[in-house]
Amino acid sequence: MRIAFEISYDGTNYCGWQNQKNGISCQQILEEALKKLFNKKTNLIASGRTDAGVHAKGQIAHFDCQTTIPPEKIALAINPLLPDDIQVLKSYLVKEDFHARYGAKQKTYEYAFYISPVKVPVFERYATRIDGADLDKMQSCCDTFVGTHDFKCFLASGSKVKDTVRTIFDARVFVDGDFLRFRVTGNGFLYNMVRIMAGTIVAVAQDKLTVNDVEAALFSGDRNAVGKTAPAKGLTLLSVKYE
């Protein structure tokens, strides 16, 4: 039977979601726990990779297994085999043709900032410090993201992906207690796309770029015409939706 996991992880100590030669990945930790639980090598397929240091609140992944444990209890069974910074929030039975990666229709990411002239240790783990903000300008920048566009200018340079057209359903900035959050929902994201968007929003807030510059960059596809790639630690994959 095919099981889906909703997974949360603190990415600080991992080389990212995907197995790599150097460093320990979230996938590796989870696959090792699945192997212990089912006494069998189990391949776990996620909705997509997350970079080193990126966090997840609701990553989705699937795997196949044969077990007498009821699907919704597998989360409870595997969590004691996992470290505190990677836990399964939910497990549930899915159809045999469910695919965590190819079936994903919508993903929501959040990038967190906090405003301070100096680093605040209790905010640093999940957010990036900025000196100031201008919510109206930042939201105007977000507005340019919404819709179906060629997001080539928001693709990490060096990436070889060919189809750079994606649809952004929603993009907004809002104040949430001590944090300023940039939340974006789309049908998919290019490598580093949300982090470059976050860096671009900050550049617009700081008058280093105008909203017109960002619109022009969407046409030109020039990576150098938008902002820097914001640090990984501020980014969290919030949720993934399927049909």
Q: How far is the CB of 32 from a second copy (least distance, A)?
A: 17
Contact 100, 62 (CB under 8 A): yes
Is 75 a residue that touches a second copy (CB under 8 A)? yes
Distance CA 215, CA 209 (A): 11
Choose between 57 and 172: whose C-beta lies nearer to a second copy.
Answer: 57
80 contacts a second copy (rule: CB under 8 A):
no
**Contact indicator for 196, 189 with CB cutoff of 8 Å:** no
Stretch that binds a second copy, among 45-53, 83-91, 158-166, 192-200 (CB under 8 A): 83-91
177 binds a second copy (CB under 8 A): yes
119 part of the interface to a second copy, by CB under 8 A: yes
Cβ-proximal residues to 225 (8 Å cutoff; 6+ apart), any chain: 153, 213, 216, 217
108, 184 contact by CB (below 8 A): yes
CB 148, min distance to a second copy, A: 30
How far apart are CB 224 and a second copy at their closest, in Å? 30
Which residues are known to be catalytic? Answer: 51
Q: Is 89 in the site for a second copy (CB under 8 A)?
A: yes
Q: Kindly list the distances between the CA atom of residue 33 and the CA atoms of 10, 42, 83, 147, 151, in Å, as whole numbers in the listed order.
A: 17, 9, 10, 40, 37
Strand, coil or helix: what is 155? coil
- Footprint on this chain of a second copy (rule: CB under 8 A): 8-10, 55-57, 75-76, 79, 84-90, 116, 118-122, 124-126, 176-177, 236
